[in-house]
Structure 1
């Protein structure tokens, strides 16, 4: 029996897919006019120690301070994004023992959003064991040409303005293309995803059939509080973990049918009910977006759908207020 019980929020925003297509077209135009025409890219200067005794680190700090002053004064000087990005320089650094994104950002006087987006790290723990990092000399957000992680997709689709500059960066002999927005930072939602406190929807395509809150149970006819979302989708539709975590329960229940419960840290848990098939196992560690099961109609159900719940400290929360849709 699962440790919490019972059966979204907002429907998908119309035109979201069209917006993504338009953004990709804009990216294509930007990059066609960008630095990608260069035949070769120079090796990056390497910082050995985050210490004033390291001459490369001293130069990096000087570059950062100069860039921050220009961004701070941009309204007075009229500097455009293109002019600001002209001063962008990239350095290389191998993260040392006991260092993380926050200590690195503090020592370099650069926001961790710039470090995370340039290095394409989906969450704060991605720095652990990472290969050589690259450090930008200017605060800002780097949007990759081909976003992959939840965080990158969120940044890609969530920017109302594309006041950025195309840049091509050499990392270990490989070219990577970004749209750089000088002086930008994470939005609250993007920060939540990076700090691993945000949630994604468990289905890519669905129809909301019953939101969170009071309702008449369609099977029993009784009035009760529906503690989750019912998301209708065809039998066999893929179900994904809404955030990284550990599978703490996996079984069958008269109400939920085949269900999975994933624990996300100390305070949060998610439940996925009425599944037709399991695609994970008990005690598995899963990542955000991992395939964990398939939509079904097992248990107390009137047709194929996913019953989905979010609990914080054991109490049901409205998933419609907490889930990010892309």
Structure 2
């Protein structure tokens, strides 16, 4: 469906004191429930219109305005079983319900269900994922509507991007598999966060994770990207910084050797260097950092393979 000029349509939806009362509640996800039937009819119209490439836009029926239903999850129903039963993409469900992970969505008692697929982003964004979603789509000039919904007894302003879905980076971030483990065989010896300095014993903050491995072990790029920096420092020793889409960077420190150059494009799994003990290190290991817009974040939840 061709996109209209950028819009900010305010959609206010009546609110009440409990999740079940705020919106019409579907009791079952079967044809015996009239609200479920209505939902499927609305979605069928939307999907047919979005796939119609032949009827002039002026002659197409105008889809009904976005509406929301409530549904109380039954035992055994999780994100992916609901997305199949509701005929809605899972990213639509998690963004509307402000779930930062699959586990968080699966812990919800009541979920909100929209009559159109798309992405919902808090106004203003409150998470790195929402920041990524909003910035990339505003930059592309995509149509979006501003809506106000009631979640958990509170009003929330959201941007709605009709028909949009997670891109590859957003999907990986939500599923918490954004990066591959940078060493084929290695053991995490120190985690992200507060710790005692291994040299002085003083309290300090560790901006990454340490992965122990023998001297000379190959270190691999955790994701596709481009080499932003190759250098040395008193703390990190010899290091490599790789920039990835979406404002992300990974850092590889204490290397004994470097296999890439500044500006080089690297593929996931490409060798960027070798494990060493350069800089401030007690022994051979890799210091691995993940940065989002220059700020260090815990790499562990974002690794596809978790060692140690």
Tell me which interval the TM-score lies in, with the shorter structure as reference length. 0.5 to 0.7
Does residue 163 (structure 1) correspond to residue 143 (structure 2)? The answer is: yes
Per the alignment, residue 138 of structure 1 pairs with: 116
Q: Which has the higher contact order (CA 8 A, sep 6+)?
A: 1
Q: Name the CA distance, whole Å, in 1 between partners of 2:168 and 2:94.
A: 15
Alignment of 1:207-286 (within 5 A): 208=229, 209=231, 210-211=239-240, 224-225=257-258, 257=281, 271-272=287-288
Per the alignment, residue 267 of structure 2 pairs with: none
Deviation string, structure 1 residues 28-63 (Cα, Å, up to 9, x no partner): x94xx6245x8x547311012222222222222222
Using the TM superposition, give the Cα deviation of residue 72 of structure 1 relative to its aligned residue in structure 2, in angstroms.
2.2
Using the TM superposition, give the Cα deviation of residue 272 of structure 1 relative to its aligned residue in structure 2, in angstroms.
4.6
Alignment of 1:84-163 (within 5 A): 84=63, 86-159=64-137, 160-163=140-143
Using the TM superposition, give the Cα deviation of residue 291 of structure 1 relative to its aligned residue in structure 2, in angstroms.
10
Q: Secondary structure at the match of 2:120?
A: strand
Does residue 196 (structure 1) correspond to residue 196 (structure 2)? The answer is: no
Q: Residues 35 and 59 (structure 1 numbering): CA distance in 2 closer, same or farther, change over 3 Å?
A: closer
Answer whether contact 2:97 2:151 (CA < 8 A) is retained. Answer: no
Deviation string, structure 1 residues 187-233 (Cα, Å, up to 9, x no partner): 1111111221115xx68xxx9444269xxxx99xx972479xxxxxx
Using the TM superposition, give the Cα deviation of residue 108 of structure 1 relative to its aligned residue in structure 2, in angstroms.
0.8
Q: Name the CA distance, whole Å, in 1 between partners of 2:53 and 2:95.
A: 23
Q: Residues 197 and 75 (structure 1 numbering): CA distance in 2 closer, same or farther, change over 3 Å?
A: farther
Q: Residues 256 and 107 (structure 1 numbering): CA distance in 2 closer, same or farther, change over 3 Å?
A: farther
Alignment of 1:8-87 (within 5 A): 30=8, 34-35=10-11, 40-41=14-15, 43-73=22-52, 76-78=55-57, 84=63, 86-87=64-65
Answer whether contact 2:25 2:70 (CA < 8 A) is retained. Answer: yes
Number of equivalences: 205
Answer whether contact 1:211 1:226 (CA < 8 A) is retained. Answer: no
Q: Residues 68 and 123 (structure 1 numbering): CA distance in 2 closer, same or farther, change over 3 Å?
A: same
Q: Secondary structure at the match of 1:87?
A: coil
Give the ranges of 4+ consecutive aligned residues of structure 1 lying more than 6 Å apart after TM superposition.
none
Q: Name the CA distance, whole Å, in 2 between partners of 1:91 and 1:113.
A: 17
Q: Name the CA distance, whole Å, in 1 between partners of 2:24 and 2:126.
A: 28
Unaligned runs of 5+ in 2: 1-5, 17-21, 180-206, 209-227, 232-238, 243-252, 261-276, 290-295
Q: Name the CA distance, whole Å, in 1 between partners of 2:53 and 2:151.
A: 29
Answer whether contact 1:124 1:196 (CA < 8 A) is retained. Answer: no
Using the TM superposition, give the Cα deviation of residue 311 of structure 1 relative to its aligned residue in structure 2, in angstroms.
9.3
CA RMSD of aligned residues (A): 4.2
Per the alignment, residue 175 of structure 1 pairs with: 155
Deviation string, structure 1 residues 141-173 (Cα, Å, up to 9, x no partner): 112212222321221222222311112222344
